[in-house]
Amino acid sequence: MSDLTANPTAKPAAAARRSHGGFWLVVLGAALWGVDPLFRIILLKSMTSSQIVLLEHVVLFLAAAPVLWRHRFELKRIRLRQLGALLFVSWGGSAAATILFTKALSSGDFNSVLLLQKLQPLFAIGLAALILKERLPRNFGPLLLIALAGTYLLTFGWTLPFSHAGSFIGVGSMLALGAAALWGGSTVMGRYLLGTLEYETVTSLRFMMALPLLFVITQVEGTAWHIGGGIGTSSLIALNLLLQALLPGLLSMLLYYKGLNTTKASYATLAELSFPMTGVLINWFVYSIAVTPAQLLGFVLIWGALFVISSQRGREEVAVPNEGDGR
């Protein structure tokens, strides 16, 4: 502490390091989302979208309950605005958006669904400016276009956009856009909540508060459960469900919210573009689908944009160390 007092530049430098680290935690958390379809598509063979999300949240509830108990003293900080934000994050981002995305995977073109879902930054940036009063950083527009161009190359390669017009017209595309809007809004609401609550508390409440809504949705849907098929099949379903809940679910969100604690929502939503890169790597390692030159260029564009944004964020923290703290 005495070093910080003696050296006035130490605190801004420490803030810059936290900002860099927080940004890359968001990148890592979002990258873990890329393994989600690997488990979710397998589960869709046995259960409906809402059944998968319900069971996933039951597992997450069991994991998050002890965490929330340790942080229970924070619950008294919650006021009406925080409750509204929590409902949006849990019911919208955790429950409804996940169901929409799962349904989109089962009814739409896989690549188109993933690309449309990555329009999420447009929703998040607009809401961050409106709700959090965040100012867009210098050269943010060109960096956003570069990152989105990289996402397109990862998904469709050198083909022209209009050649995929048919893929974007359909129920799956609308579901993917709905999920993107809800997840974009959840990024902003999550950043707002971190001004009052710790990231572990926000993560736990996100999962736990979604459960009642998911029970209602599954009950109203009225679809019979079909998880049978022998011990081997049931064990495979249980393993996939557990891995899906703990890796792209719990671990990713803990990393994401810890990073979001020191990262603007407008920066964080671009950091989330690490998600499609994970999908390409899974296609390569799991399904032996080789990475093309266009996808390599997409990697370069996205990572280049992320590195520029990260360094720019660090310089901003040094200049104004309290900006974006949210507390």
**Tens of pLDDT along 67-100?**
999 999 999 999 999 999 999 999 999 899 888 8
Q: How confident is the model at residue 47 (pLDDT cuts 50, 70, 90)?
A: confident
Which residues span the domain enclosing 146? 19-319
Distance, in Å, from the CA atom of 75 to the CA atom of 69, rounded to the nearest integer, reads 10
Q: Is residue 309 part of a domain?
A: yes
Instruction: Say if residue 15's pLDDT is above 60.
Output: no
Q: Domain count for the chain, please give it.
A: 1
Q: Is residue 12 part of a domain?
A: no
pTM higher than 0.75: yes
Instruction: Say if residue 14's pLDDT is above 60.
Output: no
Reported as type and span, the H/E element at residue 169 is none
Distance, in Å, from the CA atom of 198 to the CA atom of 252, rounded to the nearest integer, reads 16
| Percent of the chain clearing pLDDT 90 (strictly above) | 31
Instruction: Say if residue 58's pLDDT is above 60.
Output: yes
Instruction: Say if residue 5's pLDDT is above 60.
Output: no
Amino acid at 25: L
> Nearest-CA neighbor of 46 among 106, 120, 87?
106
Average pLDDT, the chain: 81
pLDDT at 280: 78
pLDDT at 140: 80
Q: How confident is the model at residue 192 (pLDDT cuts 50, 70, 90)?
A: very high
Q: Is residue 222 part of a domain?
A: yes
pLDDT at 317: 53
User: Is the distance from CB of 199 to CB of 59 less than 8 angstroms?
Assistant: no
- Sequence-separated (6 or more) residues with CB below 8 Å from residue 97: 178, 179, 182, 183, 186
275-284 pLDDT tens trace: 878 877 887 8
- Sequence-separated (6 or more) residues with CB below 8 Å from residue 11: 4, 321
Range name among 136-140, 163-167, 282-286 with the lowest pLDDT average: 163-167
Q: Is residue 14 part of a domain?
A: no
Query: DSSP alpha helices (H): ranges in the chain?
Result: 2-6, 10-33, 36-43, 49-70, 80-87, 97-107, 110-117, 120-131, 140-156, 171-193, 199-221, 231-244, 252-260, 265-271, 274-285, 293-319
Q: Which of 142-151, 226-235, 252-261, 317-326 has the highest mean pLDDT?
A: 252-261
235-260 pLDDT tens trace: 888 888 898 898 888 999 999 999 99
More confident: 160 or 146: 146
> Nearest-CA neighbor of 179 among 225, 116, 227, 229?
116
Q: Is residue 123 part of a domain?
A: yes
Tokens of 203: 């993560």
Residue 251: Cβ within 10 Å count: 15
pLDDT at 3: 44
CA-derived radius of gyration, the chain: 20
DSSP reduced 3-state for 65: helix
Q: Is residue 149 part of a domain?
A: yes
Which residue carries 């998600």 as its tokens?
275
Q: Is residue 327 part of a domain?
A: no
Instruction: Say if residue 196's pLDDT is above 70.
Output: yes
Q: Is residue 8 part of a domain?
A: no
Tokens of 293: 């030159």
* Torsional sign, CA 101, 39, 251, 291: negative
| Percent of the chain clearing pLDDT 70 (strictly above) | 81
